Protein backbone atom coordinates (compact mmCIF):
# COMPACT_ATOMS: atom_id res chain seq x y z
CA UNK A 1 0.00 0.00 0.00
CA UNK A 2 1.54 3.35 -1.04
CA UNK A 3 2.42 5.90 1.64
CA UNK A 4 0.65 9.27 1.50
CA UNK A 5 2.15 12.49 2.89
CA UNK A 6 1.03 16.10 2.88
CA UNK A 7 2.75 17.82 -0.02
CA UNK A 8 1.48 21.33 0.60
CA UNK A 9 3.15 24.24 2.40
CA UNK A 10 4.12 23.64 6.03
CA UNK A 11 4.40 26.83 8.12
CA UNK A 12 5.86 26.68 11.63
CA UNK A 13 4.47 29.30 14.04
CA UNK A 14 6.92 29.71 16.92
CA UNK A 15 6.78 33.48 17.48
CA UNK A 16 3.78 35.35 18.95
CA UNK A 17 3.96 37.90 16.14
CA UNK A 18 3.19 35.20 13.55
CA UNK A 19 -0.10 34.09 15.09
CA UNK A 20 -2.54 36.76 13.87
CA UNK A 21 -1.67 36.37 10.19
CA UNK A 22 -1.85 32.57 10.37
CA UNK A 23 -5.26 32.60 12.07
CA UNK A 24 -6.54 35.20 9.61
CA UNK A 25 -5.65 32.84 6.76
CA UNK A 26 -7.31 29.88 8.46
CA UNK A 27 -10.51 31.86 9.03
CA UNK A 28 -11.02 31.98 5.26
CA UNK A 29 -11.84 28.27 5.34
CA UNK A 30 -15.21 26.69 6.11
CA UNK A 31 -13.58 23.42 7.25
CA UNK A 32 -10.06 22.63 8.53
CA UNK A 33 -8.34 19.51 9.79
CA UNK A 34 -6.78 19.57 13.26
CA UNK A 35 -4.43 17.41 15.30
CA UNK A 36 -2.19 17.92 18.33
CA UNK A 37 1.05 16.45 19.62
CA UNK A 38 2.54 16.16 23.09
CA UNK A 39 5.85 14.98 24.40
CA UNK A 40 5.51 11.21 24.87
CA UNK A 41 5.54 9.89 28.42
CA UNK A 42 6.87 6.44 29.23
CA UNK A 43 6.08 6.66 32.96
CA UNK A 44 2.66 5.82 34.36
CA UNK A 45 0.83 8.87 35.71
CA UNK A 46 3.08 11.43 34.04
CA UNK A 47 1.55 13.49 31.23
CA UNK A 48 2.95 16.46 29.37
CA UNK A 49 1.00 19.49 28.10
CA UNK A 50 0.10 19.87 24.46
CA UNK A 51 3.22 20.98 22.64
CA UNK A 52 1.90 21.45 19.12
CA UNK A 53 -1.43 22.05 17.40
CA UNK A 54 -1.50 21.66 13.65
CA UNK A 55 -4.32 23.09 11.52
CA UNK A 56 -4.57 22.33 7.80
CA UNK A 57 -6.56 23.07 4.71
CA UNK A 58 -5.78 21.35 1.42
CA UNK A 59 -2.88 23.66 0.58
CA UNK A 60 -1.28 24.76 3.84
CA UNK A 61 -0.70 23.43 7.32
CA UNK A 62 0.22 25.69 10.22
CA UNK A 63 2.16 24.16 13.10
CA UNK A 64 1.57 26.25 16.23
CA UNK A 65 4.34 25.48 18.74
CA UNK A 66 2.54 26.02 22.03
CA UNK A 67 5.71 25.38 24.00
CA UNK A 68 7.05 28.58 22.42
CA UNK A 69 3.96 30.79 22.13
CA UNK A 70 1.51 29.40 24.69
CA UNK A 71 -2.15 29.25 23.66
CA UNK A 72 -2.78 32.67 22.08
CA UNK A 73 -6.17 34.35 22.44
CA UNK A 74 -6.54 34.40 18.63
CA UNK A 75 -6.18 30.63 18.51
CA UNK A 76 -8.62 30.05 21.38
CA UNK A 77 -11.16 32.31 19.65
CA UNK A 78 -10.68 30.32 16.43
CA UNK A 79 -11.65 27.06 18.18
CA UNK A 80 -14.65 28.83 19.75
CA UNK A 81 -15.92 30.16 16.41
CA UNK A 82 -19.06 28.26 15.28
CA UNK A 83 -18.68 29.55 11.71
CA UNK A 84 -15.65 27.32 11.07
CA UNK A 85 -15.83 23.53 11.22
CA UNK A 86 -12.82 22.01 12.95
CA UNK A 87 -12.33 18.29 12.25
CA UNK A 88 -10.20 15.93 14.32
CA UNK A 89 -9.82 12.36 15.51
CA UNK A 90 -10.44 11.53 19.19
CA UNK A 91 -11.01 15.27 19.22
CA UNK A 92 -12.26 15.57 22.78
CA UNK A 93 -8.79 14.73 24.13
CA UNK A 94 -7.16 17.27 21.81
CA UNK A 95 -9.61 20.01 22.76
CA UNK A 96 -9.20 19.31 26.48
CA UNK A 97 -5.43 19.54 26.10
CA UNK A 98 -5.76 22.94 24.41
CA UNK A 99 -8.21 24.17 27.06
CA UNK A 100 -5.67 23.36 29.76
CA UNK A 101 -3.42 25.88 28.02
CA UNK A 102 -6.17 28.54 27.82
CA UNK A 103 -9.82 27.96 28.60
CA UNK A 104 -12.39 28.48 25.84
CA UNK A 105 -15.77 27.08 24.81
CA UNK A 106 -15.26 24.91 21.71
CA UNK A 107 -17.77 25.23 18.88
CA UNK A 108 -18.34 23.27 15.67
CA UNK A 109 -15.66 20.71 16.49
CA UNK A 110 -16.35 17.40 14.72
CA UNK A 111 -14.81 14.06 15.69
CA UNK A 112 -14.64 11.73 12.70
CA UNK A 113 -14.61 8.76 15.08
CA UNK A 114 -18.26 9.59 15.80
CA UNK A 115 -19.07 9.56 12.07
CA UNK A 116 -17.31 6.61 10.50
CA UNK A 117 -19.66 3.83 11.69
CA UNK A 118 -22.48 5.48 9.71
CA UNK A 119 -20.44 4.76 6.59
CA UNK A 120 -19.60 1.15 7.44
CA UNK A 121 -16.15 1.85 8.92
CA UNK A 122 -15.72 0.27 12.35
CA UNK A 123 -11.99 0.94 12.83
CA UNK A 124 -11.21 4.09 14.81
CA UNK A 125 -7.49 4.64 14.13
CA UNK A 126 -6.44 7.33 11.67
CA UNK A 127 -4.20 4.97 9.68
CA UNK A 128 -6.91 2.38 9.18
CA UNK A 129 -9.66 4.87 8.39
CA UNK A 130 -7.44 6.61 5.83
CA UNK A 131 -6.50 3.27 4.24
CA UNK A 132 -10.16 2.26 3.95
CA UNK A 133 -11.15 5.58 2.39
CA UNK A 134 -8.22 6.05 0.01
CA UNK A 135 -6.31 2.76 -0.28
CA UNK A 136 -3.16 4.45 1.02
CA UNK A 137 -1.40 4.54 4.36
CA UNK A 138 0.10 7.33 6.42
CA UNK A 139 3.24 6.85 8.46
CA UNK A 140 3.22 7.06 12.26
CA UNK A 141 7.02 6.78 12.58
CA UNK A 142 7.42 10.21 14.23
CA UNK A 143 4.57 9.83 16.72
CA UNK A 144 6.76 9.10 19.76
CA UNK A 145 9.44 11.70 19.08
CA UNK A 146 10.00 14.68 21.39
CA UNK A 147 7.66 17.48 20.32
CA UNK A 148 9.19 19.88 22.85
CA UNK A 149 12.59 19.98 21.12
CA UNK A 150 13.84 23.48 20.36
CA UNK A 151 13.46 22.78 16.63
CA UNK A 152 11.17 20.40 14.78
CA UNK A 153 12.89 18.09 12.32
CA UNK A 154 11.61 18.09 8.72
CA UNK A 155 10.28 14.58 9.38
CA UNK A 156 8.32 15.75 12.43
CA UNK A 157 6.88 18.72 10.54
CA UNK A 158 5.77 16.56 7.61
CA UNK A 159 4.28 13.91 9.90
CA UNK A 160 2.35 16.46 11.96
CA UNK A 161 0.95 18.23 8.91
CA UNK A 162 -0.04 14.93 7.27
CA UNK A 163 -2.16 13.90 10.27
CA UNK A 164 -4.12 17.18 10.33
CA UNK A 165 -4.57 17.16 6.56
CA UNK A 166 -5.65 13.50 6.60
CA UNK A 167 -8.53 14.21 8.98
CA UNK A 168 -9.78 16.89 6.59
CA UNK A 169 -9.63 14.53 3.60
CA UNK A 170 -11.47 11.79 5.49
CA UNK A 171 -14.22 14.19 6.56
CA UNK A 172 -14.70 15.49 3.03
CA UNK A 173 -14.78 11.94 1.66
CA UNK A 174 -17.38 10.81 4.20
CA UNK A 175 -19.82 13.68 3.70
CA UNK A 176 -19.61 13.17 -0.07
CA UNK A 177 -21.34 9.80 0.41
CA UNK A 178 -24.71 8.75 1.79
CA UNK A 179 -24.64 7.18 5.27
CA UNK A 180 -25.76 3.56 5.53
CA UNK A 181 -29.22 2.72 6.91
CA UNK A 182 -29.17 2.34 10.70
CA UNK A 183 -30.19 -1.35 10.48
CA UNK A 184 -27.23 -2.09 8.20
CA UNK A 185 -24.83 -0.32 10.56
CA UNK A 186 -26.12 -2.41 13.47
CA UNK A 187 -25.65 -5.59 11.44
CA UNK A 188 -22.05 -4.62 10.68
CA UNK A 189 -21.39 -3.90 14.36
CA UNK A 190 -22.87 -7.23 15.37
CA UNK A 191 -20.79 -9.11 12.79
CA UNK A 192 -17.64 -7.30 13.91
CA UNK A 193 -18.38 -8.19 17.53
CA UNK A 194 -18.79 -11.86 16.54
CA UNK A 195 -15.45 -11.77 14.71
CA UNK A 196 -13.76 -10.33 17.80
CA UNK A 197 -15.31 -12.99 20.04
CA UNK A 198 -14.20 -15.74 17.65
CA UNK A 199 -10.67 -14.32 17.50
CA UNK A 200 -10.44 -14.17 21.30
CA UNK A 201 -11.69 -17.74 21.54
CA UNK A 202 -9.04 -18.90 19.08
CA UNK A 203 -6.31 -17.25 21.17
CA UNK A 204 -7.65 -18.79 24.39
CA UNK A 205 -7.94 -22.23 22.73
CA UNK A 206 -4.36 -22.02 21.49
CA UNK A 207 -3.09 -21.18 24.98
CA UNK A 208 -4.99 -24.12 26.47
CA UNK A 209 -3.59 -26.51 23.85
CA UNK A 210 -0.07 -25.28 24.59
CA UNK A 211 -0.75 -26.38 28.19
CA UNK A 212 -1.99 -29.78 27.02
CA UNK A 213 -5.65 -28.95 27.75
CA UNK A 214 -8.41 -29.60 25.23
CA UNK A 215 -10.57 -26.46 24.89
CA UNK A 216 -14.27 -26.78 25.75
CA UNK A 217 -16.88 -26.50 22.96
CA UNK A 218 -18.04 -22.98 22.20
CA UNK A 219 -21.51 -21.62 21.62
CA UNK A 220 -22.43 -20.70 18.07
CA UNK A 221 -23.36 -17.07 17.32
CA UNK A 222 -27.02 -18.12 17.25
CA UNK A 223 -26.71 -19.82 20.63
CA UNK A 224 -24.96 -16.77 22.11
CA UNK A 225 -27.73 -14.51 20.75
CA UNK A 226 -30.43 -16.79 22.20
CA UNK A 227 -28.70 -16.85 25.58
CA UNK A 228 -28.34 -13.06 25.57
CA UNK A 229 -32.02 -12.66 24.68
CA UNK A 230 -32.97 -15.00 27.51
CA UNK A 231 -30.91 -12.95 29.96
CA UNK A 232 -32.65 -9.76 28.83
CA UNK A 233 -36.09 -11.39 29.24
CA UNK A 234 -35.16 -12.56 32.73
CA UNK A 235 -33.89 -9.08 33.63
CA UNK A 236 -37.16 -7.50 32.45
CA UNK A 237 -39.13 -10.07 34.42
CA UNK A 238 -37.20 -9.29 37.63
CA UNK A 239 -37.72 -5.56 37.04
CA UNK A 240 -41.49 -6.03 36.70
CA UNK A 241 -41.54 -8.12 39.88
CA UNK A 242 -39.66 -5.40 41.81
CA UNK A 243 -42.05 -2.74 40.53
CA UNK A 244 -45.06 -4.84 41.51
CA UNK A 245 -43.58 -5.41 44.97
CA UNK A 246 -43.03 -1.66 45.48
CA UNK A 247 -46.62 -0.88 44.44
CA UNK A 248 -47.95 -3.55 46.80
CA UNK A 249 -45.92 -2.19 49.74
CA UNK A 250 -47.27 1.31 49.16
CA UNK A 251 -50.92 0.18 49.05
* 52 within 8 A of 66, measured Cβ to Cβ: yes
Residues 56 and 104 in one domain: yes
Alpha-carbon distance values, 71 to 19, 76, 103, 107 (Å): 10, 7, 9, 17
Residue 59 lies in a domain: yes
Selection from 10, 102, 111 nearest residue 54 by Cα:
10
Segments of the chain scoring below 50 in pLDDT: none
> Which CATH number is 20's domain given?
3.30.420.10
Kindly state whether residue 16 falls inside one of the protein's structural domains.
yes
Number of domains in the chain: 3
Predicted confidence at residue 251, as pLDDT, reads 64
Establish if 4 belongs to a structural domain. no
Nearest one of 177, 172, 62 to 118, comparing CA atoms: 177
Q: What confidence score (pLDDT) does residue 212 get?
A: 84
Given this model, what pLDDT does residue 135 score?
Answer: 92
- Cα 146–149–154 angle (5° rounding)? 85
Instruction: Judge if 109 and 212 occupy the same domain.
Output: no
Q: Are both 52 and 139 inside the same structural domain?
A: yes
Q: Is residue 1 in a domain?
A: no
In a domain, 111, yes or no: yes
Residue-level pLDDT at 134: 92
Query: What is residue 143's predicted lDDT score, i.e. its pLDDT?
Result: 77
pLDDT in tens, 198-221: 778 788 888 878 888 887 877 777
CA separation for the pair 52, 89 (Å, rounded): 15
Question: Both 141 and 194 in a single domain?
Answer: no
**pLDDT at 82 (0 to 100):** 97
Residues 117 and 129 in one domain: yes
Q: Which domain holds residue 190?
A: 181-218
Q: Residue 40: what pLDDT? A: 85
Amino acid sequence: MPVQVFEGQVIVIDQPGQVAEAVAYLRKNKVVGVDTESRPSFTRGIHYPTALVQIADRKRCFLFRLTHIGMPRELADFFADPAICKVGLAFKDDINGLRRRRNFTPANCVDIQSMVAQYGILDLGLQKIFAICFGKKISKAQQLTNWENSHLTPEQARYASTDAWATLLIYEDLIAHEPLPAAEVETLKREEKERMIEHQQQIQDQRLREQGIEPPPHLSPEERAARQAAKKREARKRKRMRQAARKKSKS
